[in-house]
Each structure stands twice: as structure tokens, then as C-alpha cells.
Amino acid sequence: MPIDDISQKVSDRYARAAATAEQMCCPTSYDMGQLKTFIPEEVLKISYGCGTPAGLETVRAGETVLDIGSGGGIDCFEASRLVGPTGRVIGIDMTDQMLEIARKNAVVVATNLGYPASNVEFRKGLADAMPVEDGTIDLIISNCVINLAPDKRKVFREMFRVTKLGGRFTISDIVADQTVPQYLVHDANKWGNCLSGALTLTDYIGGMVDAGFLGIHLVKFSPWQVIDGIHFFSVTLTGYKVPPATAPSPIRYATLRGPFNRVVDERGTAYQRGIPQPITLDDAVLLSHAPLANHFILTADPIWLDQSDPRWTAVFSAQTPCVWQGHYALLAGPFVEAADDDHHVYRRGEPLEICSKTLTVLEAEGYAPHFAILNRAGDRVSGDAVTCSPDGGCC
């Protein structure tokens, strides 16, 4: 299906939704009670998404925020409240009906917030050709929209172009656990349902890294639908336009604290828990970003850690047989590869089947924020406990 046809069909679908208040498909978790205190019902009833990127404490006072695919304006208006009257919000959308509703309600929202004037501007445009100046945005948000763009890598490049050095994104979208087959890709109706355009998590994050973003990591995860054995799920991701080091720093070494036994960062540097790794000044800048900073000790002189050091962390599995229940783990950053203490190697975005004991490990503090967990078992699993290691042990 030609790209122009996809864009037009998606625009037409959302234009109809704006006119009829049709309930679209994607899961959301808005606090409607709070939003109703300042956002008109006309906006709330046509609000679609698969997360709440503006409501996750990612917006800071005084910032310039860009919302890609702003629709009726719900996320822009929430961002408006959070940046305050000194901040600025830009919403981009390609559907005239949505823009009309958003612009009409901008003044109402400003009045309800007690602002002297609206700090929200809505512009007509496409995600892959944004009408925004280079390097002007502190934070990009987007709510189940990039999924609808035919050329997502172009969108990621546009995001990087408009973001300031040191800026970041927090976006929610639908991804898949495997490549979406052609019969779904060419199903026009499913484009508007956040299905046909879904990338795998690997390709989605990989496109962002190729565009220049680093430190990409999972903020929130929620299963959504299973269609023909393909698992579609919602992720909220954050990443950074990491600036180069500009000032001298005494930092020369990074020591991995854990709980991972070994990790590889997005620049290809490998770190073994407890062993100091020489790093560059630019590496130090990257590793100082959340959540990477939680896993490392950055020092001027090399520091070794062992289990007696309170800074050393690990989560060991129970020494009992396990049960296979159909669970798969997907590493979602901020590392491209990571290993645990049971010799599992996780590669970002790639599903890895795990047993019940490993599931318990990955649900523990330290691991849980970095993994999406899916269950591919079609029916209730009733298998007996087994040993899952070739040498007779378990894990």
C-alpha cells in the first residue's frame, strides 16, 4: 500500500472519530477525574492513546514540550498544566477536525488553569516532516501515534533534529513481539487500530538509536492484544539526545554494581559486575543518565566490588525445580545486551523463553523496570516441575 494512501486512510479514520466520538482501540490510563477539572468534555471524549506520557512526571516547569499527533489536545493540555505559564507546548497533527477542536479549546483550558494566555500552539503537519525548528524542544511526547506513521525511521530522525542537546523524549506506542506479516501490513482498517504499523520492540528502539538517541529504556509496559499468535503490547519509552562532554572531569572508570552479571551499552562497551571498566568522558555523561546511573559507580580511580560490598547487588534464583508456564522476557533497555547469574543472555527486544524461577528473578527490584513479560501459552499450563539445565540442575 503506498505511503500516501496509508496516511490518508489514517487521517480519514481519525476525522470520523472526531465527528462521532468513536471509541478507538488503544488502551489508556488517563485520570479522567483530574483532567475534567480543566479540560472540556469535547476533548476528553475523542482522546486516544496507549499510555500517559505527559502524566508520568516527565514534564518540568518552564520547558518547551512537543506532542507528536496531538489529536484533540488532551496530552498538550496536561503538559500545559505541568510546564506552567512560563512553559510552552506545541502540538502537531495532520487531521483538520482534530486541530479545530484542539485550537477552540486552548483558550478554555488556559482560563481554567488561570493563565493570562494559552501557552499551547497547534500546528498542522506530519510526524515525518515536522514544522518545528532545529534544536528547540526540551521534551517530546507522543501517545500511540508513531505507530501510525508509514516511515518511522524518518520520524525518529525528525525527533532527533528538533530536540535540544540534553533533551529527551517520553513516548507511548504499540509494538509487537514478532514481525507483523504482510497480510496485516496491507490491511487498511488495522492501520487505524494500531496494529498494521507496529514494529517489533527491537526495530522500534533500534530506529531511535540509529537516529542518535541513547539511554533508551522502558518506563511502562502493558499487554494489549494477541492476533494470529502475534502479541501486541503498549510500551512507554524514554531516551536522550546525550550532549558530548564539554568540561574536564576526573571520572575515568565505571564499575557495574548489578544486579546484572554483565551488560553491553548502546556504544558497544561491555561491563562485568564488580570489575572497573575504563571509560571516556562521553561514556561518563551517558552513564550519569537515569536509569543507567543506578547500575554504576563512576570514579576517578578503579574500584573493584565483591559480595561483601553493600554496593554490589544481585538477585539469585531459588535452588528448586522450575515450571515452564509460557512466559517470555523482552529486555527493553537501557542495555543492548545483559546477562543474569543463571547464564541467561537477554538481547534488547528479543523474546527469550523463561521458566518460573527466572520469572521471579526478573520481577524483583533491580530487574523488573527493564523487562516486558509476555505469556504465549494459549491455554492454562499444567506441566510438572522440571530441571531445565542440561547438567541436571535448574537454570
How many whole angstroms from its chain centre is CA 89? Answer: 20
Q: Which CATH class is domain 317-395?
A: alpha beta
Strand order of the β-sheet with 88-93 is: 120-124, 88-93, 64-68, 137-143, 163-176, 230-240, 214-227
pLDDT for the residue numbered 29: 67
Question: In the CATH scheme, what architecture does the domain 245-314 have?
Answer: 3-Layer(aba) Sandwich (3.40)
pLDDT for the residue numbered 148: 87
Q: In this model, does residue 329 exceed pLDDT 70?
A: yes
CATH of 3-240, one of 3.40.50.300, 1.10.486.10, 3.40.50.150, 3.40.109.10: 3.40.50.150
Sign, Cα dihedral of 16, 21, 23, 25: positive
pLDDT for the residue numbered 394: 56
pLDDT for the residue numbered 132: 98
Tell me if 245-314 shares its fold with 317-395.
yes
Q: For residue 308, what pLDDT band results from cuts at 50, 70 and 90?
A: very high
Mean pLDDT across 75-85? 96
pLDDT for the residue numbered 383: 62
pLDDT for the residue numbered 30: 78
Cα 59–Cα 30–Cα 375 angle in degrees, nearest 5: 105
pLDDT for the residue numbered 11: 45
Q: For residue 44, what pLDDT band results from cuts at 50, 70 and 90?
A: very high
- pTM for the whole structure: 0.90
The full set of domain ranges for the chain reads 3-240, 245-314, 317-395
- Calpha distance 317→359 (Å, rounded): 9
Q: In this model, does residue 327 exceed pLDDT 60?
A: yes
Average pLDDT over the chain, rounded to an integer: 89
Q: In this model, does residue 26 exceed pLDDT 80?
A: no
Q: What percentage of the chain reaches a pLDDT higher than 90?
A: 74
Q: In this model, does residue 379 exceed pLDDT 90?
A: no
Residue 247: CB atoms within 10 A of its CB come to 5
Mean pLDDT across 308-329? 94
Q: Where are the beta strands (DSSP E) in 9-93?
A: 64-68, 88-93
Q: In this model, does residue 240 exceed pLDDT 80?
A: yes
